[in-house]
Amino acid sequence: MTLARVVAAQTAEPSIAGLLDQVAATCGPYVPDDDTVALLGELRAALGRGASEAAVFERVRLLDGAGHARAAAGILAADPGTAQRPELLLGLAALLLDALEPALGLALAEQVAAEAPRPPDGFSIFRRAHLLVAEGRTALGDREGAHRAYEAVLAYDLDDARARAGLARLGPEAAPPTALDTFVEGTEGLGTTALGGGRYTMVRPVGRGRHAVVYLATDTRVGRPVAIKRMLPPTAFEDPSAARRLAARFLEEAGTLDKIRSPYVVRLYDVLHEARAVVLEYCAGGSLRAALRAGTVGPGDLPALATALREGLAAVAAAGATHRDVKPANVLIRPTRPRFVLADLGLAVPRGRSRDRFGSLRYLAPELRAARVPAGPATDAYAAGVVLLEVALGDAGLPAAFDTPTGPEDARPFVPSDLPPPVAACIRRLLDPVPERRLWSPPA
């Protein structure tokens, strides 16, 4: 995503209502499967009775954990009460910013920030909106915009720890983006000392998703850095059953990883059941998403990236699963070879079990957009092709057609003509509209 797309999202409909209409249109229409109807009904009911933000987003987390974040965003945007509740608007903005529709998410956060009452009235919403804008702008590489948003908070609270830390990260001495460059908010209740009977010493939180916080930690037994992905504590949920269902989903990811043996898939080292955490390989090079934004990965990396995606997805398929969420945020970078590694199997399912739309729209295969067939190796291959195309296009980014509900009729014409012929041919095969023709290697 480029800054130009953010500007377009902000100027096309500069109002909360207009932006919500865009989100509802982008995230729908949606045809749920039988297992999802009840969850969708619970979310609509919670919104209808004016439930608390925590209760509403418990349902959102459950839907997200089942691979239906896009459906949850559409329901939030379409509900008439959302526009009147800035806390729900900001929760929706954060959901969109986390790879669903970043341009719309940032535009929505900007609009909430613009309309928030100035302190001392309504400082909580004012602060939260500006911090979300700052972190979204930082992720886009817009340091000046992020600086302005942080300064807006510090103008009313000079000691705000999060704003001060954000400004410090924008300085020239700031470290490169971390592997999980999501918003680190709400980590205080998890504790940051040690886990695993003292084996793992927590260093710092490096990212937060909608269900878990990721820490950089040290395995004191072998003296190596690790990433610890830890579920949010049960106290973060009003409904205990929601916490249990998400925990089960969280541990399913560990079960899938445990079956995979490949240097092209992030390694699982340990499962800490009591702490609701998994210990994973730490990839110090960050995510492909962050590298694309920083300009440290380009077309010259396509052969190595294609190999990693091919081998990583083959290992996932050999374990009897489908990844379902191949995108730059879920490709991590090691400082050693093989450089690229597939990560985040939180949406992986046994092959043929799901034909839902989920995750980032731009990486969905045409047949998944139309909900015609279950997810499988062919849909993962298409997503890999879009990732490779995004790297090939560089600063230009993916064409806008990828962000529409129907997607491009045929994505192959977007492949640059100046790529090495074998690389261009590989990407075109993966982007073939016919699933059976998506092959990593030329047919014999």
Instruction: Kindly report, residue by residue over 168-186, the tens digit of the pLDDT.
Output: 878 754 443 333 333 344 4
193 and 165 part of one domain: no
358 and 410 part of one domain: yes
Instruction: Kindly report, residue by residue over 353-382, the tens digit of the pLDDT.
Output: 444 445 577 899 999 888 777 788 999 999
25 and 131 part of one domain: yes
111 and 216 part of one domain: no
CA-to-CA separations, 4 to 19, 98, 288, in angstroms, rounded: 16, 18, 21
Instruction: Kindly report, residue by residue over 214-255, the tens digit of the pLDDT.
Output: 889 999 999 999 999 888 766 555 666 666 777 777 777 788
**Is residue 444 domain-resident?**
no
The pTM assigned to this predicted structure is 0.70
CB of 294 within 8 A of CB of 320?
no
Last residue of a domain, one of 248, 281, 314: 281
d(CA 222, CA 41): 48
310 and 259 part of one domain: no
DSSP sequence for 163-225: HHHHHHHHSTTPPPPPSS-S---S-GGG--SEETTTTEEEEEEEEE-SSEEEEEEEETTTTEE
For the chain, how many structural domains are there in total?
A: 3
82 and 48 part of one domain: yes
**What does the pLDDT read at residue 290?**
83
Average pLDDT over residues 60-69: 77
Asked if the model's pLDDT at residue 303 lies above 50, the reply is: yes
d(CA 245, CA 239): 10
**Is residue 203 domain-resident?**
yes
Torsion sign, CA atoms 417, 422, 423, 426: positive
**Is residue 425 domain-resident?**
yes
**What does the pLDDT read at residue 109?**
94
d(CA 297, CA 74): 33
Quick one: tokens of 15?
Answer: 């109002």
The candidate with the shortest Cα–Cα distance to 135, out of 90, 188, 72, 68, is: 90
CB of 74 within 8 A of CB of 25?
no
Instruction: Kindly report, residue by residue over 336-349, the tens digit of the pLDDT.
Output: 889 999 988 755 55
N- to C-terminal Cα separation, the chain: 37
**Which CATH number do you get for residue 328?**
1.10.510.10
d(CA 288, CA 179): 8
**Which CATH number do you get for residue 52?**
1.25.40
Contacts of 422 (CB under 8 A, 6+ apart): none
Instruction: Kindly report, residue by residue over 66-120, the tens digit of the pLDDT.
Output: 667 888 899 999 999 999 999 999 999 998 887 678 888 999 999 999 988 876 6
Last residue of a domain, one of 281, 301, 318: 281
pLDDT classification of 165: cutoffs 50, 70, 90: confident
**Is residue 209 domain-resident?**
yes
Last residue of a domain, one of 249, 281, 313: 281
**Is residue 262 domain-resident?**
yes
Asked if the model's pLDDT at residue 307 lies above 80, the reply is: yes
**Is residue 61 domain-resident?**
yes
219 and 97 part of one domain: no
134 and 23 part of one domain: yes
**Is residue 183 domain-resident?**
no
Instruction: Kindly report, residue by residue over 270-289, the tens digit of the pLDDT.
Output: 988 888 889 999 998 888 98
60 and 162 part of one domain: yes
For residue 333, the surrounding DSSP H or E stretch is strand 331-333
**What does the pLDDT read at residue 321?**
84
d(CA 243, CA 211): 9
Per DSSP, 96 falls in state I
Amino acid 340 reads F
Cross-strand partners of 224 = 219
CA 138: distance to chain centroid?
16
* Domain residue limits at 146: 3-170
**What does the pLDDT read at residue 438?**
96
d(CA 380, CA 368): 11
Average pLDDT over residues 398-415: 89
d(CA 36, CA 66): 8
**What does the pLDDT read at residue 173?**
41
**What does the pLDDT read at residue 223?**
93
276 and 294 part of one domain: no
Q: Which has the minimum average pLDDT: 178-182, 191-195, 314-318?
A: 178-182
165 and 210 part of one domain: no
> What percent of the chain is predicted at pLDDT more than 70?
81
**What does the pLDDT read at residue 183?**
39
260 and 310 part of one domain: no
DSSP sequence for 269-329: EEEETTTTEEEEE--TT-BHHHHHHHT---GGGHHHHHHHHHHHHHHHHHTTEE----SGG
pLDDT classification of 41: cutoffs 50, 70, 90: confident
**Is residue 73 domain-resident?**
yes
Average pLDDT over residues 377-403: 92
Instruction: Kindly report, residue by residue over 114-142, the tens digit of the pLDDT.
Output: 988 876 667 889 999 999 999 888 877 78
